[in-house]
Amino acid sequence: MSKAVRGHSLTLLREPGVGRGVPLYRRLYERIRDGVLAGALPPGTRLPAARTLAEEEGVSRNTVEAALGRLRAEGFVVRRVGAGTWVSDEIPLRRLQRAATGLGNGEGARTRWALLSARGRRVAEANPGPNEPPGLIFAASGSGLDEVSLKTWNRIVRRRARERSLELLGPPPPAGLPALRKAVATYLHMDRGVRCTADRVVIVNSTQQAVDLAARLLLDPGDAVWLEDPGYVAARRALVAAGARPVPVPVDDEGIDVGAGRSVAPDARLAYVTPSHQYPLGVPLSLARRLALVAWARRANAWIVEDDYDSELRYVGRPLAPLQGIDDSGRVIYVGTFNKVLFPAVRAAYLVLPDALVEPFERAKALSDGFTSPFVQAVLADFIDEGHFSAHLRGLRGLCQARRDAFLAAASALLPAHATLGPAEAGLHVALHLPGRTDDDRIARRAVRAGLSLPSLSAQSMEAPVRGLLLHYGHVSAEEMDAAVEATARVLEEEGCSHDP
């Protein structure tokens, strides 16, 4: 899916002295061309509409048309009437290489892309980079710590800092400080029903690092991997960057359709799944499907990466037992994170591995970044061991449930009836489904302009786009919820989504 460049400025045009004497159209043409050659406007990037460009640059529409016409003629962009202008996916490689070495055009244009190996390009291209400005309402990430937990956290930080312990100056074992591995194992065993002992826990910085390590250790280029469709884009990117062949497997109201996966790619090497709270649709994986998934992995000798990213936050009934707890064949790699329920910068997550994988993961972790900060690990171990983590989770659950209730009340009053909400029994977000032909990407772009983060469901889909938006209500206070939902309703209205189709 293309990415718009709205918000990025192409406006050197107006700077005094820049390109004086060069026609305006040519200055605009060169600016965009150089952006493409330097990799700042990667293939597939959508350019602003000609009208918008003309307004932003303070030039006439004819000037913009002349510049875009030349860019198209030279193959830098493709234009489709009524649809827009994109940076071409097929910029000739020689052009990029000439630009990279500064040869050929004499203007010193560089590109990062052409300097990379084929594998390097795959890695870099798998991640299109940040695509949202910070500070948007309904943004996915934020701190889960309230004042009380933050005070406790800081108290432990000060205490640990006073100790001046050499152990905390590092290096600790790459798999993590023994104290934290033990604390995590006890917590997971007691509270989450995960089968685990401390020596099977490996501490990493994030779920993302866990998936990246799993991809690099367990897959060869071209190996098929089942991915929930729609699913978590960041995990897909790590797997694709490692050379995996993504196989989209549809998700229905029982979670990933294991039968469909078996029929399209029975011999896949790995399945990445979010069974407790499917991301993004929010459905839990049914027991029948859990059993079928584990049975398939056993028969196919495949791995299951179980991303249990927010199962601590369940508002209805008891937390669901993890897949890992029903797997007797050691095929499940369980992944959890502190980055969501504590705060993103804590950079602490964990894998629970089958015995035989512990050492390879430890080695790979050491290779990729050495180890996770021992100081943070020690603080976190204390936070868990002294009971503050459980207390924090109880408080967070109450807070997020109140936010969820406020969100649901506001949504039923303010959002159009044909926009239906997915399950909201857990987690920090809910999917808002929109009718079949809605251009949800366009709505998402308009939302950003209105200060809202409402990622489209299409952007998380692979094969059969599900239309709708994701609303991360978890970081919006109950008092601000009505205004946030009202702003969402306005965006929908402006996009013609306010009444039944």
Nearer to ligand PLP, 85 or 208 (CB): 208
Euclidean distance between CA atoms 332 and 195, whole angstroms: 11
Question: Closest distance between ligand PLP and the C-beta of residue 204, in Å?
Answer: 9
Rounded to a whole number of angstroms, the minimum distance from the CB of residue 348 to ligand PLP is: 8
Tokens 């069974």 sit at which residue?
Answer: 275
CA dihedral 419, 423, 429, 431 (to 10 degrees): -30
Those residues whose C-beta lies under 8 Å from the C-beta of residue 30, and which sit 6 or more positions away, are: 19, 22, 107
By CB under 6 A, which span of 102-110, 183-191, 320-328, 335-343 interacts with ligand PLP? 335-343
Contact 63, 28 (CB under 8 A): yes
The distance of closest approach from Cβ of residue 192 to ligand PLP in the complex, given in angstroms and rounded to an integer, is: 15
Work out whether strand 332-337 and strand 349-352 pair parallel, antiparallel, or are unpaired: antiparallel
Whether the CB-CB separation of 238 and 218 falls below 8 Å is answered with no
Query: What is the β-pairing status of strands 255-256 and 3-4?
Result: unpaired
Q: What are phi and psi of 456, to 5 degrees?
A: -80, 150
Instruction: For ligand PLP, give the closer residue by CB, 24 or 180.
Output: 180
Check residue 29 and report its DSSP letter.
Answer: H
Residue from 214, 333, 349, 481 binding ligand PLP (CB under 6 A): 349
- Angle of CA points 203, 206, 208, to nearest 5°: 125
**The binder of ligand PLP chosen from 63, 88, 276, 339 (CB under 6 A):** 339
Which residue in this structure is represented by tokens 């936010």?
A: 403
- At closest approach, how far in Å is the CB of 278 from ligand PLP? 9
Does residue 140 bind ligand PLP (CB under 6 A)? yes
Site string for ligand PLP, 272-291 (x = CB under 6 A): --x----x------------
Question: Alpha-carbon torsion 223, 224, 226, 231, what sign?
Answer: positive
Q: Does 382 bind ligand PLP (CB under 6 A)?
A: no
Between 306 and 440, CB nearer to ligand PLP? 306
Q: Which is nearer to ligand PLP, 84 or 344 (CB)?
A: 344
Query: Applying CB under 6 A, which of residues 27, 33, 237, 340 lies at the interface with ligand PLP?
Result: 340
Q: What is the Cα–Cα distance from 468 to 487, expressed in whole angstroms? A: 16
Among 45, 111, 152, 206, binds ligand PLP (CB under 6 A): 206
Q: Which of 111, 337, 458, 460 touches ligand PLP by CB under 6 A? A: 337
Distance CA 335, CA 354 (A): 12
To the nearest whole angstrom, how small is the minimum distance from the Cβ of residue 464 to ligand PLP?
20
Taking CB under 6 A as the binding criterion, the range among 152-160, 167-175, 189-197, 203-211 that sits at the site for ligand PLP is 203-211
Coil/strand/helix, residue 276: coil
Tokens of 416: 């159009």
Count of residues touching ligand PLP (by CB under 6 A)? 13
Interface residue with ligand PLP, options 113, 153, 187, 232 (CB under 6 A): 232
Sole binder of ligand PLP in the list 309, 361, 371, 375 (CB under 6 A): 309
Using the 8-state DSSP alphabet, how is residue 189 labeled?
I
Which residues lie across from 345 on neighbouring strands?
A: none
The nearest distance, CB 258 to ligand PLP, in angstroms, is 19
From 205-213, 284-292, 379-387, 449-457, give the range in contact with ligand PLP by CB under 6 A: 205-213
Instruction: Identify which of residues 50 and 393 has a Cβ nearer to ligand PLP in the complex.
Output: 393
Least distance from C-beta 303 to ligand PLP, angstroms?
17
By the 8 A CB rule, do 52 and 6 touch?
A: yes
Query: Contact between 208 and ligand PLP (CB under 6 A)?
Result: yes
Task: Kindly tell me which residue out of 30, 229, 307, 312 binds ligand PLP, with binding defined by CB under 6 A.
Answer: 307
Regarding 207 and contact with ligand PLP (CB under 6 A), the answer is: yes
Nearest to 306 by CA among 192, 461, 416: 192
- As a dihedral over the C-alpha atoms of residue 257, residue 258, residue 259, residue 260, rounded to 10 degrees, the angle is 60
Closer to ligand PLP by CB, 315 or 343: give it: 343
Alpha helices in 164-257 (DSSP H): 178-187, 207-218, 233-241
- Which is it for the CA torsion 243, 244, 247, 248, positive or negative? negative
Task: Report, in Å, the least distance between residue 97 CB and ligand PLP.
Answer: 35
- Would you tell me which residues interact with ligand PLP (CB under 6 A)? 140, 206-208, 232, 274, 279, 307, 309, 337, 339-340, 349
